[in-house]
Amino acid sequence: MSFPWARHYEPKNPVMKWVDDRLPLPRFVYNAIGAGYPVPRNLNYFWNFGILAGLSLVIQIVTGIVLAMHFHSSAAGAFESVNGTIMRDVNAGWFLRFAHANGASMFFIVVYIHIFRGLHYGSYKAPREMVWLLGVVIFLLMMATAFMGYVLPWGQMSFWGAQVITGFFSAIPVVGDWIRIWLLGGYAPDDATLNRFFSLHYLLPFVIAGVIILHIWALHIPGSNNPTGVEVKGEQDTIPFHPYYTAKDGFGVGVFLILFSILIFFYPDYLGHPDNYIVANPLSTPAHIVPEWYFWPFYAILRAFTADFILPAKLWGVLAMFGSILLLFFLPWLDRSPVRSANYRPMYRIAFWVLVADVLILGWCGGSPAEAKYVIISQIAAAYYFAHFLIIVPIISRIETPRPLPNSITEAVLGNEGGSRITATAATA
C-alpha cells in the first residue's frame, strides 16, 4: 500500500511468521495501523477523531451485546426491562445502559468533528473522494442505527420518534402509506415494529464495521491528508503510524475516556429527554417531540418547510432533510478548487466557519418547540446550508486566490530553511 518507502513486515516471532506465511493477517494489520503505514509528519489532534470514532463503535458493540442479553423486546416488556431490570436488578446494568446511551452521543460528537475536519482540510478532494463517499454512507448507517436504538426502551419519545420518523415515508406520493405500514408492520408502532428495529439495531453496527474497513482501505491508497493539504513528496514528509500516531491517538483516547466517564458518572441523563422515562402511550403525544440532539439540525430542516409549492410542504421537508445529507455525496465535485486546506483558502475558510455556526443554529432550532420565531430562523439557516454547498462553495472555488502553498510538508513544519536543508540532505543521500 501507499508509499514505496513503507517498511515491510518482518516477523521476529516464529509463531507470527508461521501465521503470516499461511494467512497474512499480521502483515495486513502492520500495513494498516502499524509501522508499515507511513503518515504525514504534521497531523494535528483533529486527526485523532477517526480512531476515536472506531473506538466509539467498539464501545457501542460491546455494551450493546451485553445489554441485549437482558433486554426484552416486546411492547409490554421493553420499558420495564430497560428501566426496571437493567437499571436496578442487573449487576452493573445501570453502567452498561448509561455507557451505551451516552456512547451514542460521544460517537456522534466525534463523527461530527471528524466530518468538519474533512471539510476544513479538504480531505474529500481527489484522490480521496471514495474515502469521503464511504464516510457519508457510514454516517447514514449510524443515523439509522441510532434512531432504531432510541426506539428500543419504548418510552414516550421512543414511541413518538418512531411514529414521526416512519411518518416521513408516508410523504412519498401514492405508495407512501403502504410503505409506512410495511415498515411498522402495523398501523402504529407496536410489537412488530419494536422487534424488527431490535433486529436491525443489532445488525447495522456490523454493517458499519464492514464499511469502515472499506473506508480505511480507500484511505490507504493515497494515504492520509494533512493540515497543509499538500501531498506527501518523499520519505522525509512521513513518519510511521506506529509508534508515532498510536502514541498521539492513545493520548486522545485518554482525553475521550475522561470526558465520556464524566458524562456517564455525573451527567448520565443530561443529553436524554425526561419524557422517555414515561412508558409509551399510543393515545397521548408529548407536548414537544424532539429527537436526540444529534438529529436536531436535520429536524430543523424538516420543519422549515411550511408552505405548499407544487408538492406538499411535508414532502418538501422530507426531501430537504434527506437532501441535506445526500448533498454531501456531491461535494467533491462541487468544490473545484485544487487547494485542499482552508489554511490556504482565505474565502473558503470564512465560509467554513459560517457553515459551522449555521449548523449549530439549525441544531438549536431543531431542539426548540415549533414556534414561529424558531421556524423563521430554521428557514433562513436551512436556506444558507443549501446555499453553502450549491452556490457559495462552487463560486469561491472559481474566484478565490489561494495563499501560496508550502513546497512540501517538511518545509511547512520546519520553515523554509529547515525544509530545504532536509530536502537537500535527502537529495544527496
Partner 1 sequence: MATFEEGVTPDQTVGPGGEILENPRRRDYLLYAAPAVAAVGAGVVVLPLVNSMNPSADVLAQSTTEVNLAAIEPGQAIKASFRKQPLFVRNLTPKEIAEADAVPISSLRDPQTLDQRTKEGHKNWLITLGVCTHLGCVPLGAGEGENRGPFGGYFCPCHGSAYDTAGRIRQGPAPKNLEVPKYNFTSDTVVTVG
Catalytic residue status for 220: yes
- Three-state SS for 82? helix
Q: Nearer to partner 1 by C-beta: 131 or 184?
A: 184
For 409, the grid coordinates are: 510538508
Which of these, 315, 313, 299, 359, lies nearest to 119 by C-alpha position? Answer: 359
Q: Nearer to partner 1 by C-beta: 105 or 166?
A: 166
> Which one is catalytic: 17, 70, 72, 220?
220
State the nearest-atom distance from the C-beta of 304 to partner 1, in Å: 10
Q: Nearer to partner 1 by C-beta: 1 or 370?
A: 370
Which of these, 111, 96, 87, 39, lies nearest to 64 by C-alpha position? Answer: 96
Residue type, 122: G
Q: Nearer to partner 1 by C-beta: 196 or 421?
A: 196
What is d(CA 370, CA 379) in angstroms, rounded to the nearest whole number? 12
Q: Nearer to partner 1 by C-beta: 250 or 323?
A: 323
What is d(CA 429, CA 417) in angstroms, rounded to the nearest whole number? 18
- Is the Cα dihedral 409, 412, 415, 420 positive or negative? positive
> Which one is catalytic: 81, 158, 224, 378?
224
Adjacent-strand bridge partners of 155: 279
Catalytic residue status for 388: no
State the nearest-atom distance from the C-beta of 370 to partner 1, in Å: 5
State the nearest-atom distance from the C-beta of 286 to partner 1, in Å: 8
- Binding interface with partner 1 (CB under 8 A): 160, 163-164, 166-168, 170-171, 181-183, 185-188, 190, 192, 196, 282-285, 287-289, 303, 305-306, 308, 312-315, 317, 370
- Is the Cα dihedral 63, 298, 376, 312 positive or negative? negative
Q: Give the count of alpha carbons within 13 A of 103, CB side only.
A: 21
Q: State the DSSP H helix or E strand holding residue 429, giving kind and residue range, or none if neither.
A: none
Contact status, residue 53 vs residue 103, Cβ threshold 8 Å? no
- Three-state SS for 39? strand
Note the maximum CA span of the chain: 80
Q: Nearer to partner 1 by C-beta: 107 or 305?
A: 305
For 155, the grid coordinates are: 418510552
For 31, the grid coordinates are: 500495513
State the nearest-atom distance from the C-beta of 105 to partner 1, in Å: 23
State the nearest-atom distance from the C-beta of 325 to partner 1, in Å: 19
> Which one is catalytic: 249, 335, 358, 411?
249
Contact status, residue 107 vs residue 57, Cβ threshold 8 Å? yes
> Which one is catalytic: 248, 337, 378, 411?
248
Q: Nearer to partner 1 by C-beta: 14 or 173?
A: 173
Q: Nearer to partner 1 by C-beta: 37 or 202?
A: 202
State the nearest-atom distance from the C-beta of 375 to partner 1, in Å: 8
Strands (E), 173-281: 238-240
Catalytic residue status for 248: yes
- Strand bridging mode 38-40 / 238-240: antiparallel
Helices (H), 152-190: 156-169, 176-184
State the nearest-atom distance from the C-beta of 382 to partner 1, in Å: 14
Catalytic residue status for 292: yes
State the nearest-atom distance from the C-beta of 211 to partner 1, in Å: 23
What is d(CA 203, CA 269) in angstroms, rounded to the nearest whole number? 26
| C-alpha R_g of the chain | 24
Please identify every residue annotated as catalytic: 220, 224, 248-249, 292
